[in-house]
Structure 1
Amino acid sequence: MIRQVGILLYPDFQLLDVAGVTAAFEIADTLKGGAYHVTPLSLHGGLVRSSSGMALDTVACSSNDFFDTFIVVGGEGHKRAMKSPELLDCILKQSRNTRRICSVCSGAFLLAAASLLDGCRVTTHWQQAEFLKLLFPKVKVEADAIYVHDGAVWTSAGISAGIDMSLALITQDLGEQTARRTAQQMVVFYHRPGGQSQFSALLEMGGGEERFGTLLGWVRSHLTQRLSVETLAARVGMSPRNFSRAFRSSVGMSPAKAVERLRLEAARERVEQSSLPIEAIAAMTGFHDPERMRRAFLRAFGQPPQAVRRNANIRTSC
């Protein structure tokens, strides 16, 4: 049985969004000897230019086409694409002729604009998550997830997360063994550990002065210590007052907030990947008090640690 996979492109799409998922299905197809056929689609067909300048040849979308899996990719062009009634109508019609509908990165905005994500749990790139929430309040955005599966809807975070989602789709179709062999061929994780926060926290905070980047790296390795402003200021040879002002200006948040972000990152990784008691995780990540960690999780993720662990288990089993 050959499963038809349609991948929708539009001007200024992200080339890697397409390449990653296509490669995953191509390798799985090779391993199983005829499992998938991938078709690049666009509104009118023909060459479509990516944001990098490279173009791909596509087939025109037709409401008569049936695709087992229909994927909308992301890219800089999504802002214009989501304002095209013709393109959104194409997505809506395709959604009626597919077993599952998916997005990579900012492709979620197009699905949301087509009213296909109302009431659904979804994800997108961590930098776009708050904007997706703002534009589409009926959508339940899980900002830290690598990918989310909610019924027939699958959404994934930025670029490489499309590969993670594709491996999960392959697992659903062809079994774990084939998906694992596909991951091995691609030299990627079969199940990537942690969420987007592990890739975003230090990157988001590391755009300032080198001394503060070095300090944050030290903080990450000493989370169980008492990391007061005075302690951090002494590490960089500054007075607490000048340190607080300079740190906020450079990093974009207070020292206390930065420490909490790094503790949350470490705690969530352990919550999702281990069966350690929540009390033990609170102690080893510097929260010490489980209730303090629970409040921090609620502020950051909208869920207590136990719910984050349950959701991680659900994603892993999908």
Structure 2
Amino acid sequence: MEEANGQPDKKLIVIVAMTGNMLLNFCGPADVFINADRCLENCDILDGYDVKVVAPTSNKKLDTAARMSINCELSVADIQGSIDTLIIAGNDSREASQPGLNEFYDWLATRNEYNTRRIASICGGAFVLAKAGILNGRKATTHWQASERLSKAYPDIEVNVNPFFTRDGHVYTSAGVSSGIDLSLALVEQDYNKDIAISVARKLVFYLSRPGFQSQFGSLLPIYEREHIGQRTQNWIAGHLNEKMEVNQIAEQMNMSTRNFTRVFHRETGMPPAKFVEKLRVEAARKYLEDSDTPLERIAELCGLGGLVSMRRIFLRHLNTTPSDYRRAFRTSLRDSGIESLIASEARLADII
């Protein structure tokens, strides 16, 4: 299909910047598709992407957490024709107090698989698609911190906290902010080929397919109030992680019978004590892996995770990665890259000068 000037139609990518709290929500995907279009043109492929970042409201203005205002050229009301890919980037948690978004939701209600080839969300944008009914009965993901809230607010949605992005039919959802880049690269590869997607990923210094799962980033346990049985139990267990622990020992510290403690603990935390202890051990091991060069065998011993084989099995179960891979991905950045020693040497040189 060609335009009136003889040039091929480009795929229209509409990115709705719902909030300026996280600029990467919409800037990341925009950079992926814009750079993909340039790569395609260099290969004499002219039916690439026409990227438009639009505002959800008619004033076309977006206030950002970086204390600058972004004036979009267009609002969603200006987009009336067919869209190749519609991306809802982020979500403004103040939306309940913004009646100006009513028109946006009316517009979004007109979008379906007949006039929009793909509909996607980034991070909290899943809540926008959910409110519009687009995620009803579908699988979806969102930021790990918000996944439980999404599941409770919209029980018809099958929420999966692990993947960086998911697909259900023509609807795609992605997890945390940077996951919008993961999803966008996958869509470029879907549209053209792996080589184009790899070229874009290299230019952005980003993985084409990032290793691991979103669950690696979040805490395995929620934050409890100080007097909550989970927090009181955690306070005692933290000092005894390297010891073999029985439920009756923990119950004794809580001044409760084993049976009553188990019942109350499960009711208040949603998990049995043994699973809680295992998660605490993994959290402690994560800190060692992130912040120290302590050998894996010693970490397993300090955290009560048994030997290397046992610790590896437990990490795979909870984080979908091995302890050694986790250390490579999450250890302190400055120490890993050599920048720390460079900064120190420059500081010494400055003192001499």
Instruction: Bin the TM-score by the shorter chain.
Output: 0.5 to 0.7
Q: CA deviation at 1:86?
A: 1.9
Residues 12 and 49 in structure 1, CA contact (< 8 A), matched pair in contact too: yes
Query: Which residue of the other structure, out of 44, 47, 57, is the alignment partner of 2:61?
Result: 47
Residues 121 and 142 in structure 1, CA contact (< 8 A), matched pair in contact too: yes
| Residues 49 and 227 (structure 1), Cα distance of their counterparts in 2 relative to 1, 3 Å cut | farther
Is there any run of 5+ residues in structure 2 with no aligned partner, and where? 1-7, 227-233, 255-264, 286-307, 321-353
Query: Which residue of the other structure, out of 127, 143, 162, is the alignment partner of 1:125?
Result: 143
Larger Rg: 2
- Residues 66-85 of structure 1: per-residue CA shift (max 9 Å, x gap): 22100001144464389743
Separation (CA, whole Å) in 2 of partners of 1:78 and 1:39: 24
- Residues 290-315 of structure 1: per-residue CA shift (max 9 Å, x gap): xxx9xx88xx99xxxxxxxxxxxxxx
- Residues 204-224 of structure 1: per-residue CA shift (max 9 Å, x gap): 78xx9xxx9xx98xx8xxxxx
Aligned length: 256
The letter for the 1-side match of 2:76 is C
Separation (CA, whole Å) in 2 of partners of 1:284 and 1:28: 41
Residues 141 and 166 in structure 2, CA contact (< 8 A), matched pair in contact too: yes
Alignment match, 2:49 = 36
Alignment match, 2:312 = 285
- Residues 126-145 of structure 1: per-residue CA shift (max 9 Å, x gap): 11111111111111111122
- Residues 134-160 of structure 1: per-residue CA shift (max 9 Å, x gap): 111111111122100111001001100
Q: CA deviation at 1:256?
A: 4.7
| Residues 262 and 3 (structure 1), Cα distance of their counterparts in 2 relative to 1, 3 Å cut | farther
Alignment match, 1:275 = none
Query: Which residue of the other structure, out of 187, 196, 201, is the alignment partner of 2:219?
Result: 201
Separation (CA, whole Å) in 2 of partners of 1:190 and 1:261: 31
- Compute the TM-score of the two structures, normalised by the length of structure 2: 0.60
SS of corresponding position for 1:94: coil
The letter for the 2-side match of 1:67 is I
Separation (CA, whole Å) in 2 of partners of 1:52 and 1:31: 30
- Residues 215-272 of structure 1: per-residue CA shift (max 9 Å, x gap): 98xx8xxxxx976479xx9xxxxxx949xxxxx9xxx999854553378899xxxxxx
Separation (CA, whole Å) in 2 of partners of 1:227 and 1:38: 58
Separation (CA, whole Å) in 1 of partners of 2:21 and 2:94: 7
Separation (CA, whole Å) in 2 of partners of 1:142 and 1:5: 26
1:92 and 2:100 aligned: no
- Residues 12-66 of structure 1: per-residue CA shift (max 9 Å, x gap): 4531101111111111111111411211112315322133333222202236232
Give runs of aligned pairs for residues 189-228 of structure 1, distance below 5 A: 189-201=207-219, 228=245
Alignment match, 1:8 = 16
Alignment match, 1:245 = none
Q: CA deviation at 1:187?
A: 1.0
> CA RMSD for the aligned pairs?
4.2
Q: CA deviation at 1:161?
A: 0.5
The letter for the 1-side match of 2:182 is D
Alignment match, 1:70 = 86
Separation (CA, whole Å) in 1 of partners of 2:68 and 2:221: 28
Residues 201 and 262 in structure 1, CA contact (< 8 A), matched pair in contact too: no
| Residues 12 and 264 (structure 1), Cα distance of their counterparts in 2 relative to 1, 3 Å cut | same
Separation (CA, whole Å) in 2 of partners of 1:175 and 1:227: 53
The letter for the 1-side match of 2:22 is Q
Residues 227 and 259 in structure 1, CA contact (< 8 A), matched pair in contact too: no
The letter for the 1-side match of 2:75 is A
Separation (CA, whole Å) in 2 of partners of 1:114 and 1:16: 23
- Residues 161-184 of structure 1: per-residue CA shift (max 9 Å, x gap): 000000110110111111112111
Query: Which residue of the other structure, out of 31, 43, 46, is the alignment partner of 1:23?
Result: 31
Separation (CA, whole Å) in 1 of partners of 2:97 and 2:157: 19
Separation (CA, whole Å) in 2 of partners of 1:4 and 1:39: 8
- Compute the TM-score of the two structures, normalised by the length of structure 1: 0.66
Q: CA deviation at 1:283?
A: 4.8
SS of corresponding position for 1:103: strand
Separation (CA, whole Å) in 2 of partners of 1:287 and 1:186: 34
- Residues 98-148 of structure 1: per-residue CA shift (max 9 Å, x gap): 100000000010111000000111100011111111111111111122100
SS of corresponding position for 1:56: strand
Residues 17 and 74 in structure 1, CA contact (< 8 A), matched pair in contact too: yes
SS of corresponding position for 1:155: strand
SS of corresponding position for 1:261: helix
Residues 73 and 104 in structure 1, CA contact (< 8 A), matched pair in contact too: yes
SS of corresponding position for 2:208: coil
